Chains A and B, each alone.
Chain A
Amino acid sequence: MSEARYQEASVDLAGIVQMLGDSLYSRPEVAVRELIQNASDAILRRRIELGDEAFSPAIALSADPGAGTITVEDNGAGLTDAEIETHLARIGAGATRGLRAASGDLGLIGKFGLGFLTAYMIGRKVELFTTPAAAPGRGFHFVSDNGLRYIVTETAPGPVGARVVVHLNDACRRFAEPDRLEDVVAGYCRLMTTPIRVQGGPPINLEPPWRAAEPGEPELRRRRRGFAFAERLEPTFEPLCVIAVDAPAAQGLLWLHDASTYGGADNRWLQVYVRGMMVARNKRELLPAWAGFVSGAVESAELSPTTSREDVKADAAFEACRAAVQEALIAGLRAVAEREPETWRTILRRHNQALLGAAIADPRLFEALRGAVTAPTTEGDLTLPEIARRSPDGLVLAPGDPGAVDVLVARALGRPAIYAERYGAAAMARAFAEAEGLEVVEIGSDAGRRALFRPERPSSPEAEARLRALFSAEDLTVAFARFEPEELSCVALIDQEQALKSFYESDEAERRIGAGVLQLARSLTEKIAPEAPTRLVLNLAAPLIAQLADAATPPPRAAAAAAALRAHARLATGGGAVGAEGHRGAIGALNAALGALLTEGEAHG
């Protein structure tokens, strides 16, 4: 039997590089970012390891479209030949990792030792020219075409630091265009503190407002700085106002969009930076769901980038950052409402619907917004206090598909009815009503109808009998109520429960619906006392009805008048209320009643 032997696993470096490109990093341009990150860390190494504070750190990039190269140059610590072997040619053992382990987290960006390897994602050959700060009299040249085999030769020393030249492969030659390179660099690195130049131009760095803020500086200057920053970063909208984020978990700036957005449209946009490096292009989850009209940028040393540094981990630091952003946004909106009335008015005009949703989502915003946001009503957009003032008996909600009679009543009432189907309107109205101790009347609902048409008995049994005699019909149940407006003598309401009873106990239901469902449905409907599905509700407040109720002897044309009112009520409601003969039959009944009124009038001269 052969002995067990230890074997060493092999590494397919080309496979790893491909995996980096295919699976770990979403875009090849991250290789440029990684090289800049290495340069930044090298500068920190020079300060930390070598205690050299006297130099002016700098990173410079250049692109040569003709040669198809990009060059990244820094005046950091550089690398000795031993360090080249240890850190560069040994995959996964980046210098930063050891330094971080020895010195703690001192602002180093790199961590995983993969950064330099990414150069092979975009380059067919990579060269490094370096003069180490630890040995400034020596220079080294490293060259490799695949990272697995390399040549290191000693050369004449140059300036302390490193210069990486990436000879781009065909697929990535576009990075050799200077404008393209500058866009990539600025996109990822503009908030870094080390000056970064592209093609010898001025530094692309941008000092974010949260680092530039000075104690006691005028509010106007702070705001202007915020606007300028937002305009530089924001890809789509102009900023309307700016809100600072200043918490232990995160610092940053938020801004509202100066554009009208509708309802729940989600245009959240938030860039996330860790130590000046952009790690997430749009981490909208850090903004509350209702903040569809907000953009921003935040920086946090606590967040943990993923391995690819293209996102951040959803850990406790992430949650703390989210909480800080939300708190800042809410406090900021309240501050704008209090101190910037013009801006606040513009915000309300632009984002009223989104703010309706926001107010429902957070009680503090509800308090700030309850008097300011408007709701769409049958009388135009009105604030909730104004709606309440015009609706002393309760806020009226009109559903998106109200019955005809409900619309008739709502308009006749002269009260604004809130369009409940519009985004956030119904929920905000209910929240406001609860806070103010007001009723909510939802027209078309049973509860709404009970609130609008308050049941009441006629003044005497004789009056009731007279009215029933005049208004009854085979397919109607006569009921009595008192409601506004008094000009409306009666309404025909379809009783939903009766309609369901009628359906589920019909032959049609037996044809369409399974036995099990029918059995269950009928167990409820059999408890409903049978009545006609249409209820004719007579308004005891109406002068006409009162006249008919009080007359001991019915007036000559009472029957015709009652028939006309009944037919009109059926037609106003429509649907099943029109009766078995349909709309034409109901119109015919109305005409017949009016004709009888005319005839009887003629007969009496």
Chain B
Amino acid sequence: MAEVDDGIWDWVHRYIWDLRLSDDPERRRMAEALIDFTSAAGQKEAAVVEAAYPELLAFVRGEQNAWAEVFVRHWRLQAYVHTPADPRALTVEALDLVQFAHGEAARDCPQRVCAIDDLNALYGQIDAVGYAEERLNLVSELLETTPTHFGCFMCLAVGKRDILVDLGRPEEAIECWRASLERSELLAATVAEADHYLEYWAWGLGEAHLRAGRPDEALAVLETCQAPKAYHRFTIDALSAEALLALGRRDAALARFKTALEVEDDALDATQAARLIAAMRAAGLVEGAEARPLAERLLDVAALAGGRGRVREAFDAAREAFELAETSGAEALMRRALAAMAERLPELRAPVGADAAHAEAAARMGG
């Protein structure tokens, strides 16, 4: 087995090692702080990250270490990407970081790729479908130039897979994922890394199988997924419920559906929630007295998502709220849902069917 030279981390390890060997106790402390900071960011512990970030940033700037600044600023963003956090506030920082990473001082910094991928992830949190084409171009471009033994090669591969699913191209997503697994020298060399990617990122693969019409394979993949946070658990439960429904296991689907909705609103991916509820509604498992409170909840979720700049999620939740409200004959709710859809339309990057959906809903209201 070839020894892996993971260039993206080599310089970081050397830097931290140098700090640890310093005679200056403050630099030794910064070494430990960097390790704890990175670990907390990987575990999405934003409060811990923010507590350490100002000091670490000031330290690396004081040392005029541009590579370390890229590293620290990237990992701060990592505490928020792929979480329910508000992406807008961070997008300006991500753009600024990309600019900095392309500057003379940070020339050749390996983490430049990571900074770009942060930007990609944040745009996905604003409007996954709307920005999908641009994101696909960006990630494809990066995959061509990123060494296959870099850990972030797999991060990019995950990103490309999930963007293809957003674009409604699940078979292509699965093929892309398989090809990336084969190409990745890191996974070939390190079983632990392979497990990490397969367990922590597999839910997207599960969704790809589901959208490709293979719910049994989707379930098999979803069962291997780790779910350290509530929003991970929601995603896995929601996709599993859809898969069970597609397999005709209605009781199990309903049970999983109820489990999925037990999470707090701020842990819901509103688009996934809307999709799940639509599937359950189409199967006749949401009707009558249940529809109205669900519609109310979806409108609350839409407002929450919209307030956080997750505009596509907000639109999708409002759209399904409209459908549910119509099912229960709640006209006032239908009007609220229609207004919520209209509010988000101009904020979307590209309609991708949202304008047509709004127009149709408005017509049904008017009729």
Contact = CB atoms under 8 A, between A and B. Distances in A.
Contact of A524 (B33, B55, B95): B95
A446 B91 CA distance: 13
Given A263-B29, A500-B92, A515-B137, A520 B50 contact: no
B141 A515 contact: yes
B92 A496 contact: yes
A531 interface: no
Contacts of A509: 99
Given A500-B99, A516-B142, A519-B137, A524 B91 contact: yes
Interface residues of A, number: 37
A186 interface: no
A360 interface: yes
A399 B47 contact: no
A360 B137 contact: no
Interface string A250-275: 00000000000011111000000000
A516 B140 contact: yes
Contacts of B26: 262
Contact of A427 (B50, B91, B138): B50
A401 B63 CA distance: 12
Interface in B17-49: 25-26, 29, 32-33, 36, 47
A469 B275 CA distance: 56
Contacts of B62: 400
A457 B134 CA distance: 40
B290 interface: no
A514 interface: yes
Interface string A490-517: 0000001100100110000100111111
Contacts of A399: 54, 58
Contacts of B33: 264
Contacts of A512: 102-103
A521 B99 CA distance: 10
A261 B143 CA distance: 46
Interface string B129-158: 001001101111110000000000000000
B96 interface: yes
Interface string A440-456: 00000010000000000
B47 A421 contact: no
Contacts of B134: 516, 519-520, 523
Contacts of A503: 99
A187 B64 CA distance: 47
Given A263-B29, A264-B32, A514 B54 contact: no
B120 interface: yes
Contact of A400 (B32, B58, B131): B58
Nearest to B95: A500
Nearest to A356: B51
Given A400-B57, A516-B139, A360 B47 contact: yes
Nearest to B32: A266
Interface string B314-338: 0000000000000000000000000
Nearest to A446: B92
B308 interface: no
B313 to A, nearest CB: 18
A268 to B, nearest CB: 12
Contacts of A263: 29, 55
Contacts of A515: 137, 141
A426 B54 contact: yes
Nearest to A497: B92
B82 interface: no
A423 interface: yes
A520 B51 CA distance: 31
Interface string B49-86: 01110110111011000000000000000000000000
Contact of B141 (A266, A496, A514): A514
A584 to B, nearest CB: 22
A264 B349 CA distance: 43
A498 B210 CA distance: 43
Contacts of A421: 54-55, 57-59
Contacts of A264: 29, 32-33, 36, 52
Nearest to A397: B54
Given A263-B55, A500-B99, A519 B92 contact: no
B49 to A, nearest CB: 10
**SS class of chain B's interface: helix, strand, loop or mixed?**
helix
B58 A517 contact: no
B268 interface: no
B54 A520 contact: no
B119 interface: yes
Contacts of A420: 54
B123 interface: yes
A520 B131 contact: yes
Contacts of B36: 264
Contact of B116 (A497, A517, A523, A524): A517
Contact of A401 (B58, B102, B137): B58
B51 A360 contact: yes
B152 to A, nearest CB: 15
B261 to A, nearest CB: 29
B51 A424 contact: yes
Given A357-B51, A516-B134, A516-B141, A262 B92 contact: no
A513 B98 contact: yes
Nearest to A514: B141
Contacts of B123: 520, 523-524
Nearest to B136: A516
A265 B26 CA distance: 9
Most interface-central of B54, B138, B140 (chain A CB within 10 A) = B54
Contact of B55 (A400, A496, A517): A400
Nearest to A357: B51
A516 B103 CA distance: 18
A422 interface: yes
Nearest to B127: A523
Nearest to A521: B95
B234 to A, nearest CB: 26
Nearest to A360: B51
B127 to A, nearest CB: 10
A509 B100 CA distance: 11
Given A360-B47, A504-B95, A516 B55 contact: no
A427 B51 contact: yes
A284 to B, nearest CB: 12
A446 B89 CA distance: 10
B138 A517 contact: yes
A226 B211 CA distance: 66
A52 B257 CA distance: 66
Contacts of A423: 52, 55
Contacts of B61: 400-401
A369 to B, nearest CB: 15
B29 A265 contact: yes
Contact of A523 (B57, B96, B131): B131
Contact of B96 (A401, A496, A514): A496
Contact of B50 (A426, A514, A521): A426
Nearest to B138: A516
A201 B41 CA distance: 55
A520 B96 contact: no
Report, nearest first, the 3 A-B pairs whose CB atoms are least far apart. A400-B58, A516-B138, A421-B58
Interface of A: 262-266, 357, 360, 399-401, 420-427, 446, 496-497, 500, 503-504, 509, 512-517, 519-521, 523-525
17 contacts: A264-B29, A264-B33, A264-B52, A265-B25, A400-B55, A400-B58, A424-B51, A426-B51, A426-B54, A496-B92, A496-B96, A497-B92, A513-B98, A516-B140, A516-B141, A519-B134, A520-B137
Interface of B: 25-26, 29, 32-33, 36, 47, 50-52, 54-55, 57-59, 61-62, 91-92, 95-96, 98-99, 102-103, 116, 119-120, 123, 131, 134-135, 137-142, 349
Given A401-B61, A500-B95, 16 more contacts: A262-B26, A264-B29, A264-B33, A360-B47, A421-B55, A422-B54, A427-B51, A503-B99, A514-B116, A515-B141, A519-B138, A520-B123, A521-B119, A523-B131, A524-B123, A525-B95
